[in-house]
């Protein structure tokens, strides 16, 4: 054996090199295994590589890496009805118990019929009714009490088709995109038409998105003091941000203050968010999910001749704008090999 | 020389050990060199150590580490007048040029007298006048145009006493606290009664605080399209969040969604933020800065018999509450050995 470098040291070097190789190999594992190879998957990976490669023309400094996701219909199932609407309806019995004179008053009486099994009653409820029910069940209590109620409901409520908690009905491919973006220095935000306080209750546990990165429809709160002298914030029946349509761009400015570099949506309510995203300089990614998988989930549009719906409407005009503006349409049927994590 | 480990390898080991020792020594360098030893400095260091030491009773998981700072009078000089008020006043000539009929109309005519050197004119301006001037100079333009105007003004405007840009008049001890908190996993936020869009223009460069971590008084914006078809947000004369007093707690809920673990303020406008901070469970730090240094900065209260003021009022009642509730009062005179980074 030659003097100088001992054999163990050579072994150590080889082991370290091998470790380094493994680390590199690991980083080349597919970050989006639930996505089929295709335009959509390529667009996501191409965007991340372009914006995070130092010196590349599309490079984005880490502090500007913001990605926004609509929630209902983009991150989790929204049919047959938004889960927050289900929450509001299912809170009505408790509300009526506290205020018995509401039991015979529409729209609360209609909701009671509906909950007692009269499905036809649903048709009697219009948008104005839903607003009345929303204000009655989402305001007037403290922020902390509301949070407890939502937590309790989420632990018990189940989606009628899959018989699972709503929080299990998230789309695995989208969670992979969120993780992939975060692994590459992006801050991931939810920008939802749903209630900001509602979504914040579970976003951290379900998506790894902290409360301060949830932008949603928000009501005013009122500062006051409880009986123990401690500060209490009470939810008011006054809208501060209607985070839908143009309100999504306005909400992004209010809460984030920059154009996102990537945005993901699925309906006309996301149009302005996607436009606002693309209006920023440099590399920008806009993607929109089409629900075209009748077997594994639902089909609705009315884009591409799919059935029309009031819940997550994706019009042909929006589809045409997507094509014209270079947004990427994700086909649930063709682009995703797996939808839910509980599937085989 | 013995076979086996070569001498260079021993040297390398010693060098590495020495490096490790240096790193450790470096980490024990005083994180707050501009603070004199005393209760305030001890409180900050004690709080950080208690909340970041795994297993300690006060330990706070990294995702919950939120610290909020008032800006005017807490992070930078607010006397003789808030810099944003100076901005609004100094925008009046350009406003009058665009709308000449305003030149003879109070309060705009009063501002022109003031800018032409008639200091007594300032006394003619009441709060309502300032509101009129604020709406005229802070709304009606696009978010991007406003940003450009503020940038331009900040590059040129100077504080009358120090003859330096306002952005240099930040308190070095507070910037040290912000850095120390960030080095320990805290997200630092500004929670200001000033305009959110105004402060966002410089907060990243001046404090290392990104736009999405600036909470301030905010007006609505309106989404629309420019002549080129691109989305434009226009600033509306409608308040969404009055981020002062109780509005600071409400703003923290709206924009952050958690009780901060540490908060720093200096006036009655910060009272509810400090109360809201202390109302959370576990270790919480509330600190309030008293301007008691006539020589190096200003003195005002009226707490502790200091001169009364309408700009950053610190009442005796607030001082008494601080003492009773275990908030730490920072004495600018006694606790800070250096105030500005440009001082020797």
Tokens of A142: 């403290």
pLDDT at residue number B79: 96
Tokens of B17: 């050990």
3-state secondary structure of A137: helix
3-state secondary structure of A221: strand
Task: Dump pLDDT digits (tens) for A147-193.
Answer: 999 999 999 999 999 999 999 999 999 999 999 999 999 999 999 99
Inter-chain CB proximity A4 and B6 less than 8 Å: yes
Residues of A in contact with B258 (CB under 8 A): 211-212
Counted across chains A and B, CB pairs separated by less than 8 A come out at 95
pLDDT at B5 over 60: no
Tokens of B11: 């040297």
Find tokens 């914040």 and name the residue: A200
Task: Dump pLDDT digits (tens) for A63-120.
Answer: 999 999 999 999 999 999 999 999 999 999 999 999 999 999 999 999 999 999 887 8
pLDDT at residue number B2: 46
Task: Dump pLDDT digits (tens) for B288-344.
Answer: 999 999 999 999 999 999 999 999 999 999 999 999 999 999 999 999 999 999 987
* CB of B282 closer than 8 Å to CB of B58: yes
Inter-chain CB proximity A204 and B9 less than 8 Å: no
Angstrom CA distances, B145 to B148, B151, B204, stand at 5, 10, 19
Inter-chain CB proximity B214 and A246 less than 8 Å: no
pLDDT at B25 over 50: no
* CB of B192 closer than 8 Å to CB of B209: no
User: Which range is least confidently modeled, B14-28, B41-55, B61-75, B237-251?
Assistant: B14-28
Angle between helices A143-156 and A83-98 (to 10 degrees): 110
User: Which range is least confidently modeled, A311-325, A327-341, B115-129?
Assistant: B115-129
Phi first, then psi, for residue B104 (nearest 5°) are: -105, 5
pLDDT at B7 over 80: no
Q: What percent of chain A has pLDDT over 90?
A: 88
Q: Find the CB nearest B240 among A63, A254, A279.
A: A254
pLDDT at B22 over 50: no
Inter-chain CB proximity B272 and A223 less than 8 Å: yes
If phi > 0 it is left, if psi is from -120 to 50 it is alpha, else beta; for residue B229 that is left
Q: Find the CB nearest B221 among A63, A204, A250.
A: A250
Inter-chain CB proximity A250 and B187 less than 8 Å: no
Strand pairing of B66-69 and A187-195?
unpaired
Instruction: Taking the CA atoms of B90, B91, B93 and B96 in sequence, report the sign of the dihedral they define.
Output: negative
Q: What span, in angstroms and rounded, lies between the C-alpha atoms of B122 and B339?
A: 29
Strand partners, B315: none
Q: Which residues contact B91 (CB under 8 A, 6 or more apart)?
A: B137, B149, B153
For an interface test with A, the pick among B2, B143, B225, B257 (most A C-beta atoms closer than 10 Å) comes out as B257
Strand partners, A339: none
pLDDT at residue number A122: 80
Phi first, then psi, for residue B119 (nearest 5°) are: -60, -30
Find tokens 């219909």 and name the residue: A73
pLDDT at A1 over 70: no
Q: Find the CB nearest B279 among A5, A196, A230.
A: A230
Task: Dump pLDDT digits (tens) for B49-62.
Answer: 999 999 999 999 99
Tokens of A150: 């939502």
Q: What is the DSSP string of B70-112?
A: --BTTTB---SS-HHHHHHHHHHHHHHHHSGGGTTSTTHHHHH
Q: What span, in angstroms and rounded, lies between the C-alpha atoms of A277 and A286?
A: 7
Inter-chain CB proximity A3 and B3 less than 8 Å: yes
Residues of B in contact with A223 (CB under 8 A): 246-247, 249-250, 272, 276
Between B5 and B73, residue with greater pLDDT: B73
ipTM of the complex: 0.91
Chain B window 162-221: which residues touch A at a Cβ cutoff of 8 Å?
Answer: 187, 196-197, 200, 204, 210-212, 214, 218, 220-221
pLDDT at residue number A278: 97
If phi > 0 it is left, if psi is from -120 to 50 it is alpha, else beta; for residue B266 that is alpha
Tokens of B180: 């120390």
Q: What span, in angstroms and rounded, lies between the C-alpha atoms of B254 and A197?
A: 9
pLDDT at B8 over 50: no
DSSP label of A56: S
pLDDT at residue number A124: 86
pLDDT at A282 over 90: yes
Task: Dump pLDDT digits (tens) for B152-197.
Answer: 999 999 999 999 999 999 999 999 999 999 999 999 999 999 999 9
Residues of A in contact with B215 (CB under 8 A): none
Q: What is the DSSP string of A130-197?
A: HHHHHHHHHSSSBHHHHHHHHHHHHHH---TTT-S-GGG-B-HHHHHHHHHHHHTTPEEEEEEEEEHH
3-state secondary structure of B18: helix
Q: What confidence tier does A6 reach under pLDDT thresholds 50, 70, 90?
A: low
Tokens of A70: 């609509």
Residues of B in contact with A197 (CB under 8 A): 257
Residue A236 CA, distance from chain mean position: 25
What pTM does this model have? 0.91
Inter-chain CB proximity A272 and B221 less than 8 Å: no
Q: What span, in angstroms and rounded, lies between the C-alpha atoms of B41 and B32?
A: 8
* CB of B263 closer than 8 Å to CB of B286: yes
Chain B window 40-79: which residues touch A at a Cβ cutoff of 8 Å?
Answer: 63, 66
Q: What span, in angstroms and rounded, lies between the C-alpha atoms of A60 and A187?
A: 13
Q: Find the CB nearest A255 among B4, B6, B255.
A: B255
Q: Find the CB nearest B240 among A5, A63, A240.
A: A240
pLDDT at A20 over 60: no
* CB of B237 closer than 8 Å to CB of B262: no
Q: What span, in angstroms and rounded, lies between the C-alpha atoms of A82 and A214?
A: 17
pLDDT at A7 over 90: no
Cα of first residue to Cα of last residue in chain A, in angstroms, is: 56
Strand partners, A225: A231
Angstrom CA distances, A201 to A143, A164, B272, B329, stand at 11, 18, 24, 35
Task: Dump pLDDT digits (tens) for B274-303.
Answer: 999 999 999 999 999 999 999 999 999 999
Task: Dump pLDDT digits (tens) for B124-144.
Answer: 889 899 999 999 999 999 999
Tokens of B15: 């060098």
**Nearest to residue B225, comparing CAs of B234, B216, B236?**
B234
Biggest alpha carbon distance in chain A? 97
């Amino acid at each position: 054996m030659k003097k100088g470098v001992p054999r163990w040291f050579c072994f150590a070097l080889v082991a370290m090199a091998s470790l380094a190789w493994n680390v590199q190999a690991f980083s080349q594992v597919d970050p989006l295994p639930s996505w089929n190879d295709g335009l959509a998957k390529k667009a996501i990976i191409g965007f991340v590589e372009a914006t995070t490669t130092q010196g590349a023309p599309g490079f984005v400094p880490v502090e500007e890496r913001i990605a926004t996701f609509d929630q209902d219909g983009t991150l989790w199932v929204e049919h047959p009805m938004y889960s927050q609407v289900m929450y509001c309806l299912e809170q009505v019995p408790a509300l009526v118990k506290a205020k018995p004179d509401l039991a015979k008053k529409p729209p609360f009486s209609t909701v009671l019929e509906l909950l007692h099994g009269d499905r036809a009653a649903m048709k009697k409820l219009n948008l104005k009714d839903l607003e009345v029910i929303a204000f009655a069940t989402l305001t007037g209590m403290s922020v902390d009490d509301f949070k407890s109620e939502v937590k309790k409901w989420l632990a018990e409520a189940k989606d009628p088709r899959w018989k699972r908690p709503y929080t299990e009905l998230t789309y695995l491919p989208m969670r992979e995109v969120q993780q992939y973006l975060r692994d590459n220095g992006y801050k991931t935000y939810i920008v939802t038409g749903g209630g900001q306080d509602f979504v914040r209750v579970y976003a951290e546990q379900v998506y790894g998105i902290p409360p301060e990165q949830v932008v949603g429809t928000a009501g005013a709160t009122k500062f006051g003091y409880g009986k123990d002298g401690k500060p209490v914030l009470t939810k008011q029946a006054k809208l501060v941000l209607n985070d839908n349509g143009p309100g999504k761009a306005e909400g992004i400015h209010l809460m984030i203050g920059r154009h996102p570099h990537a945005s993901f949506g699925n309906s006309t309510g996301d149009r302005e968010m996607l436009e606002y995203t693309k209006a920023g300089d440099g590399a920008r990614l806009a993607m929109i999910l089409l629900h075209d998988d009748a077997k594994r989930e639902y089909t609705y549009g009315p884009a591409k001749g799919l059935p029309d719906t009031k819940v997550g409407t994706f019009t042909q005009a929006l589809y045409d704008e997507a094509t014209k503006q270079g947004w990427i349409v994700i086909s649930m049927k063709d682009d995703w090999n797996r939808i839910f994590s509980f599937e085989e």
